[in-house]
Amino acid sequence: MSTTLGNQMNGAEAMVRMLEAHGVTHMFGLCGDTTLPFYDALARLDHSITHFLTRDERHAAYMADGYARVTGKPGICEGPSGGGATYILPGLVEANDSSIPILAITTDVATASRGRYPLTELDQVALFHPVTKWNASLDNAGRLPAMIRKAFREMTTGRPGAVHLALPFDTQKGPVEASEVWGESRHIRFPANPAGPDPAAVTAMADALVSAQRGVIVCGGGPVIAGAFDALLRLARMLDMPVATSVSGQGAIAETDPLAVGVVGSNGGVAATRAVIEEADVVLFIGCRAGSVTSERWRFPKPGARILHIDSDPAVPGTNYPTEVALVADARLALEALVVALEKRPGLPSQGGRTRAAQAWQNKLAAFASLATSTERPIRPERVIATLARLLDDDATIVADPGTPCPYVSAHYRWRKAGRHFITNRAHGALGYALAASMGAHIGRPGVKTVNLMGDGSFGFACGEFETMVRYRMPITSIVFSNSTYGWIKAGQNSGFGQRFYNVDFNRTDHAAVASAFGVKSWRVEDPEQLESVMRAALDHEGPSLIDIISQPLHEAAAPVSEWVA
């Protein structure tokens, strides 16, 4: 279905109407000189878009990322030329490699000014080319609607990803024919136009799965993006095959399900979960690139295991492991086809999945229990995670930065429902992501509690956005693991470089005081016995809240990161 909107208009007005025509209701960005016509159109026109003013273009992109992950709609961010374009770039890098569709619109100097040394001129198309799925400069106002349709088509179809459009100042004032202003409803959500699998390959994969004796499924983010929850669970139960996930794949299956193993790999995996992969004779990767983290630098699965692979990107299967059968297709459609194929086969053999998964959890929880109740100071991160898990509802959203919080949440927060309840930036792992992404997630899913977890390194990257959180009265709880060090790097120096700690420590910040200055209700906790009561008060607070937890640094902890284990 297509919809025509508006009458005679200029390029800035057409941009607003084209976003509306593609179902956009929220966008995130920061003003600048080159953006004046676009902001004027947003101010004058009667439209359905709520614009959130941020304090930094980088965080506008992270907000769009978090929003897209929880809504299934593309996230939209915008910024001005020059520094605005360079600042917004990191968010596109992360989203694109995480298969999350966000559209970044960066306004630009007039096309007539190019090459004459105008302020903030740079080659935006060249800048964004290596980090986006597609990008272009809208140099012709008449072509603007068609180019925006292409942007939505590119970012939502195939493997979803980030796109970028440069919007020159004169294009914003140029004429656009009203008849050209319409949107494609197919591209309002993602994944759009999902591709089904080759029937012959489905039969071959079904044969391989049935022949396994100790098979295992490893899910990346693909099944979560595709909404393949029901089909995945049905397949696993038909085969009695355990299901493990990467960090990005958490939510593909409820981790309380009898077949769920939890996270495997070097970040959040433990010896008990690794054993399930190590002993497998057949491994089915679903929407997972089998990269360095999930495979612990390609050591698990071991050589000799038979590899099956489902991915929407044809470049992925066979990249890291010899692959017996590959289905290049949407995860949900591929799994549904496998279920149909297996339903025709009576007497499917059991692969002992429930027993193997139960043993993995039993061993992992036995090691976790004493740490989760520890009264040590500084406070152990395990106790923080255990307390949070007791207090949060099943439908809450947690967003974690990649430093101190990520391995603990991945290993020890046991997700009780399938779905997108956990967000972390595992593609490139830039610090400062969680605060902004949690804001986007809250805007996209306002009816549930949203919590972000960060280290104090990440706090320093992102704290300016607390003003944005307060201004929009977002009832988000932030938890800071305060240990006054870049903990991940220090842990690496501890385990692999003779404890030569060089330039990784910094002064302790009173994060509660800083957040309070922005208007955030804040607490500081040093005593583990006070943790639960403070956390309950913070989670119940009606506005933004923060807990500054004086916590054990990673290099002294029992972090579930295999490269730090002797």
Structural domains in the chain, sorted by start = 2-187 (3.40.50.970), 199-356 (3.40.50.1220), 373-564 (3.40.50.970)
Q: Report the C-alpha gap between 376 and 135 in whole angstroms.
A: 52
Q: Report the C-alpha gap between 59 and 41 in whole angstroms.
A: 23
Please report the pLDDT score of residue 557 as a whole number.
86
Please report the pLDDT score of residue 566 as a whole number.
60
Q: Report the C-alpha gap between 242 and 275 in whole angstroms.
A: 12
Which DSSP helix (H) or strand (E) runs through 452? strand 450-455
**Selection from 251, 233, 522 nearest residue 398 by Cα:** 251
Positive or negative, the CA dihedral 428, 433, 436, 438 is positive
Q: How far is CA 379 from CA 105, 387, 455, 490, in A?
A: 43, 12, 14, 18
* DSSP per residue, 462-490: HGGGHHHHHHTT---EEEEEE-SB-HHHH
Cβ atoms of residues 81 and 109 within 8 Å? yes
Show the CA angle centred on residue 93, arms to residues 90 and 98, nearest 5°: 130
Q: Report the C-alpha gap between 64 and 60 in whole angstroms.
A: 6
Q: Report the C-alpha gap between 94 and 65 in whole angstroms.
A: 9
Please report the pLDDT score of residue 4 as a whole number.
44
User: Residue 27 forms beta bridges with which residues?
Assistant: 51
Q: Report the C-alpha gap between 415 and 510 in whole angstroms.
A: 31
**Dihedral angle over CA of 535, 537, 543, 545, nearest 10:** -30
Residue pLDDT tens, the chain, 566 long: 344 454 789 999 999 999 999 999 999 999 999 999 999 999 999 999 999 999 999 999 999 999 999 999 999 999 999 999 999 999 999 999 999 999 999 999 999 999 999 999 999 999 999 999 999 999 999 999 999 999 999 999 999 999 999 999 999 999 999 999 999 999 999 999 999 999 999 999 999 999 999 999 999 999 999 999 999 999 999 999 999 999 999 999 999 999 999 999 999 999 999 999 999 999 999 999 999 999 999 999 999 999 999 999 999 999 999 999 999 999 999 999 999 999 999 899 899 999 999 999 999 999 999 999 999 999 999 999 999 999 999 999 999 999 999 999 999 999 999 999 999 999 999 999 999 999 999 999 999 999 999 999 999 999 999 999 999 999 999 999 999 999 999 999 999 999 999 999 999 999 999 999 999 999 999 999 999 999 999 999 999 999 999 999 999 988 999 989 86
Which DSSP helix (H) or strand (E) runs through 390? helix 381-391
Please report the pLDDT score of residue 3 as a whole number.
43
Q: How far is CA 504 from CA 410, 500, 527, 557, in A?
A: 24, 10, 25, 17
Other beta carbons less than 10 A from residue 324's beta carbon? 15
**192 DSSP 8-state letter:** B
Q: Report the C-alpha gap between 7 and 70 in whole angstroms.
A: 34
Other beta carbons less than 10 A from residue 130's beta carbon? 9
Threshold 0.75, pTM exceeds: yes
